């Protein structure tokens, strides 16, 4: 992980407002990093960052927000592929624990890949706050990746 991180941002429908509030609260730090978002979340994040940057410093600072497909249309899988390729350093996924999702298997797969590749994951705003305020956000960091090859070569 370089000093400038690539942060995956995902929010289920009932949590998009929380994500926008979190982005507005942390906008200045987020502008230092690259953001990768699923569908509507990406559009809302980009709009919030643009608005906040203009209000606070009047400058047009360069935004780096890559919008993938909507989660149910494959965005979660796209993000998972990027994690497995080492292109995403951390994930903030505000999921809705009270609402069943039609693409629950994709959500589970995304979280599994994030754990498999040992990237930091926040599933609520408190954890996201701790992650973004960590001193490691401003440093290069190399996560230790577990070698799972024994699982592949093991005979059943």
CA 56 – CA 59 distance, rounded (Å):
8
Residues comprising the chain, all counted:
156
Asked about 76 being catalytic, the answer comes back as: yes
Question: Catalytic residue among 28, 76, 89, 129, which?
Answer: 76
Active site positions, annotated: 76
């Amino acid at each position: 992980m370089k000093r400038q991180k690539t942060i995956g941002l995902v929010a289920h429908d009932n949590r998009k407002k929380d994500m926008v509030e979190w982005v507005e609260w942390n906008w200045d730090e987020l502008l230092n990093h690259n953001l990768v978002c699923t569908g509507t979340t990406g559009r809302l994040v980009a709009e919030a960052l643009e608005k906040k940057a203009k209000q606070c410093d009047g400058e047009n600072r360069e935004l780096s927000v890559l919008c993938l497909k909507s989660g149910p249309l494959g965005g979660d899988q796209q993000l998972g592929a990027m994690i497995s390729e080492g292109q995403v350093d951390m994930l903030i996924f505000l999921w809705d624990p009270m609402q069943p999702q039609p693409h629950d298997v994709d959500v589970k797969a995304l979280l599994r890949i994030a754990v498999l590749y040992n990237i930091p994951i926040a599933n609520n705003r408190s954890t996201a706050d701790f992650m973004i305020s960590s001193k490691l956000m401003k440093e290069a960091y190399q996560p230790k990746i577990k070698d799972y090859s024994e699982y592949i070569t093991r005979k059943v």
